[in-house]
Structure 1
Amino acid sequence: MLPRPQRLKPSSRAPGRLPAGLRQNQEGRVIKVGSKQMQRWLAVGLLLGAILIISLLVIVPLVNKGLELHEAKNNLVFKLQQYERILAGKDAVIANMNAIKEQYQERGLLNSQATGALASAEVQEFIKKTIADAGGQLSSTQALPLSTKNEFSRILVNVRMTGSSEVLRAVLHKIETSTPLIIINEIDIRPIRGVRNRTTHQIDQSNQLSINFQAVGFMRKQPA
């Protein structure tokens, strides 16, 4: 027996109709619907991404640099204002210094000797006499180089002496109320060990003190 011929099922698609999502262009080619629109959106997205990258790489550093320059400008303006205030008060400071120097000179507080060596010798002689008058004993004096600051020179003399607390009190009072002005800058006081008694073989208490101090006088700055 001969095989029965199979029947072909008729297509459910209407003749001339394309599947969904496809269409035929003018040239007769079948293309996907919306593919060009997607390409446009993709191109726009790439452009925006490129603009964003350029902004991050170029614009942001420029903005940061501008902020730094603005801050530096504000700092310079602040410093300039400070300098202006200092300069504005310069005349007042100079006037005050001149007034102080005149007061020192009028009251005889500055040493009037012509040289630093003569001024140091005068201070040493005054201290030597002061210690002797108070009943103390001068061990040594040492004149140090002049220390100059601004318009004044300091006359420095190191002194070593011994004496009781009463002697020390009298010496310090005489020095610090003297004219020209002399002040005590540094002082070191140590008790002196007593001497052993030959009879009792005990160490007798001593009221003597070993005293080191620095006396400071002032004179006008010598011209160079």
Structure 2
Amino acid sequence: MKFLLGLFLFSVLLTTGASIECEICKGVNNCTSERQICPEEYYACSSSLLENSKVKDVYMAKECAHPEICLFGVITMTDGNGSHIRQVATCCEEYACNPAAPILPERNTRANGKICPGCSSNKGDCSAAVTECIGSETYCVSYVTLSEKNVVIGSRKGCIREGTCTHLKTFDGGIFHDVNHVKNVQCTPAVAATTSSSPPPPLSFPLPFGFLLLALLLMKLLL
């Protein structure tokens, strides 16, 4: 009887999504912790790596998540003054599962000739500067993160891949290890960078001076 009751309770928890248990921790390159029961709205365990050019180390986070975060693949963004931020996550949805170890591929550092406004702030809005886009980043993105009282507590602008930007518009969660949800996402095509100076015009001479040069050249040939 106790076994049947336990099996019934487990099936109820599995149906509601509250039976998912995940490690919840953060650390440099790796971390471990005791498992915790996830809130009902999160029905996957994720393991993610975060690379931020402003910080020396690569950080790992293990947490309860919506599996949609793993559909992004590698989220890469160039966000101003040569700085960038990247994240990759793996997920699993079974009871007491362990996500595969995430791997950040080598970053493409080649400028692609596109530019966007770029900046980041964790204290509200930020002032953007012209930012060179890298690799497959052909779109400009702008978004904010909001508190529970709908107050802007962070913002980010920069270069991003088109598919990632489109996906962010419908994503109801946080990225780059931020627990606050991404809101007000705007995506626009990046513009081509213009050259700072134009080539000099071809040399030209007044008409009489041109005839004089031609006459001197002919005299030199005849002598």
TM-score band, normalised by the shorter chain? under 0.3
Kindly indicate which of the two structures has a greater share of residues assigned to strand.
2
TM-score by length of 2: 0.23
TM-score, reference length from structure 1 = 0.22
> Larger Rg: 1 or 2?
1
More helix as a share of residues: 1
